[in-house]
Amino acid sequence: MNAEKSFDFFLKSDFKGFNEDEWLAICGSKVVAHGADLRAVIAKSKKLCGVERPLFTRVSKIAHYLHA
């Protein structure tokens, strides 16, 4: 199931390369879109994920500390 793969990738990933409070769209084991504007991230991810439903999450302060 792809949702499980996306969530597993989310749990294991280090998001230090992304800015705090940035939105991420994850399809499988890849971040396909990111940015401050959720609507723009959704639009871009629809083009890149096809029929897959991406996992959307926001990078928080805690994500940076967990992988320090």
* pLDDT tens digits, 2-60: 778 887 887 777 777 888 889 999 888 889 999 999 999 999 999 898 777 898 988 87
Residue 52: half-sphere exposure toward Cβ, Cα within 13 Å: 21
Q: Is the pLDDT of residue 67 over 70?
A: no
Domain boundaries, the chain: 2-66
Whether residue 32 contacts residue 62, with contact meaning beta carbons closer than 8 Å, is answered with no
If one compares 56 and 62, the residue with the highest pLDDT of the two is 56
Is the separation of the CB atoms in 4 and 22 below 8 Å? no
Q: Are 53 and 32 in contact (CB under 8 A)?
A: no
> pTM for the full model?
0.79
